[in-house]
Copies of this chain bind each other. A is one copy, B any other.
Amino acid sequence: MSINTYEKEFLETLKKISQYEQAINVMYWDMRTGAPKNGEEYRAEAIGQLSADVFQMRTSKRMKELLDHLWEQKDSLPHDTQKAVEEAKKEYDLNSKIPEEEFKEYTTLTSKAESVWEKAKKASDFSLFAPYLEKIIDFKKRFITYWGYEGHPYNALLDLYEPGVTVETLDSLFAELRESIVPLAQKIAASQKKPDTSFVHEHFPKEKQRELCHFFLKELGYDFDAGRLDETVHPFQVTISQGDARVTTAFNESDFRSAVFGTIHECGHAIYEQNIDEALSGTNLSEGASMGIHESQSLFYENFIGRHQGFWKRYFHKMKESCPEQFEGVTADGFYRAVNESKPSLIRIDADELTYPLHIMIRYEIEKAIFSGEVAVEDLPKLWDEKYEAYLGVTPPDDAKGILQDVHWSGGDFGYFPSYALGYMYAAQLKSSMLNDLPEFDRLIENGDFQPIRQWLTDHVHVHGKRKKPLEMIKSATGEELNVRYLIRYLEDKYTSLYL
């Protein structure tokens, strides 16, 4: 068998996997956007079967043979194949190092744990969830030893979502960020200059919101020939295949902000996916570089464009046309201030862009403590509350609004949270670099001329898919290592002008 035959079979397997994933993603999207409830159980089973088949293809003996052969002669492979082999090998190693029986037990545990977490959250009682969390943590600790790690054991988990990012990196980035934004948030909380947000909770009909979401997606350059917008309960972006990157949104009739900014956020994810090099289609490189890089694109659209003063100078009249009574007496500038309100809060997903990173730091520090064995599960709620008090000056009244608020741990997704904060840092650094090429950035937004911005992001980020690792991507896009100063400067400038 020549190397080309191995390469061919390897790429064919990746393609088959991508087709199975297409099926899984359509089934998932459908389940979350209107599939009838009586079919749910059968749907979950079918998704389970196809996922198991994908797992099998990724970890088969034949895959190992292919990877071994290709790895030996990696240097003679085309560049994209090399990267695809690296990616597939990483996946293979992660999955094959865990004993099959143990992985099955873990999968069963996490699928049960999610509904236990739901019940515990409803009852606002951490003790119901604690035994499950404890077992999940035990599994994860064992997985970490199977996988191996350098430095802190938590590095093994970080690497799952943000390859190359370590505790050492994050400790230093977060320390710097914390030093700036904790005092800034405190000054804002004490400031007398508060925006008037009374109008945001007036009734805004769903159909009007839907029209607006379509309008903004079109304006921002989302390609409706390569996607669609649907309603759901917990919004997400899902890529079905090349040429099909969908967005979903939820409509809250007493707060238009969730649909408007939620849609712009998912739009950022989707525009990323719509602009990945088509040459990567059907391979494991036809996706975002990492969770954090993906989040940088959604945050760029949501915050740097969607919460930009110029954006609402241009588009506030659209809001007014949709609901004239709601916005009577509100100016474009007043609207801009209201949708940029900042205040310390208990719930991460409702947080504004200034205080959001603090919610992430709290989770990061707690997860790190869990995996270095510094905290017991039973002590987590206390630790959680102390950190909220210290960083945000608020104290959760109960577990539901505290430690039980996020679903992630019930699925074993430790190491995931930091990517959200990294997304902010990546986005700010990219924007700073973009300003060198597009010094007229503010004017472009005010004119609704998003094409040059989109093109810059496509050239520097989107097109590369998963060819580059996140920190490598930032380095090549901005000419500099990851630097948290760009985010700090952005937040200081914006919130000083808004509040101080």
Contact = CB atoms under 8 A, between A and B. Distances in A.
A19 B45 contact: yes
Interface in A39-58: 39-43, 45-46, 49-50
B39 A243 contact: yes
Interface residues of A, number: 36
* Listed residue (A35, A41, A224, A225) with the most chain B CB atoms within 10 angstroms of its CB: A35
Given A36-B227, A223-B38, A241 B43 contact: yes
Interface in A205-226: 223-226
Nearest to A226: B38
A252 interface: no
A419 to B, nearest CB: 27
A280 to B, nearest CB: 13
Interface stretch (A23-31, A164-172, A402-410): A23-31
A382 interface: no
A7 B368 CA distance: 51
A120 to B, nearest CB: 28
A231 interface: no
Contacts of A50: 19-20, 23
A37 interface: yes
A40 B226 CA distance: 10
A27 B246 CA distance: 14
Nearest to A243: B38
A36 B242 contact: no
A244 interface: yes
B43 A226 contact: no
A179 B281 CA distance: 60
Given A39-B240, A39-B243, A226-B39, A46 B23 contact: yes
B228 A39 contact: no
Interface in A240-290: 240-244, 246, 281
A140 interface: no
A492 B78 CA distance: 74
B27 A43 contact: no
Contacts of A36: 224-228, 243-244, 246
A42 B228 contact: no
Interface in A173-230: 223-228
A22 interface: yes
Given A26-B27, A30-B26, A46-B241, A225 B38 contact: yes
A99 interface: no
A50 B54 CA distance: 13
A16 interface: yes
A185 B342 CA distance: 77
A53 to B, nearest CB: 9
A435 B456 CA distance: 72
A151 interface: no
Interface in A1-32: 16, 19-20, 22-24, 26-27, 30
A420 to B, nearest CB: 28
Interface in A354-406: none
A130 B168 CA distance: 72
A34 interface: yes
A100 to B, nearest CB: 19
A228 B35 CA distance: 8
Contacts of A43: 22, 240-241, 244
A34 B26 CA distance: 12
Contacts of A46: 19-20, 22-23, 241
A302 to B, nearest CB: 23
Contacts of A227: 36
A139 to B, nearest CB: 27
Contacts of A24: 23
B49 A16 contact: yes
Contacts of A49: 16, 19-20
Contact of A244 (B38, B45, B240): B38
A217 to B, nearest CB: 12
B26 A281 contact: no
17 contacts: A19-B45, A19-B49, A19-B50, A20-B50, A35-B228, A35-B240, A36-B225, A36-B228, A36-B246, A38-B225, A38-B226, A39-B240, A39-B242, A41-B243, A42-B241, A42-B242, A43-B244
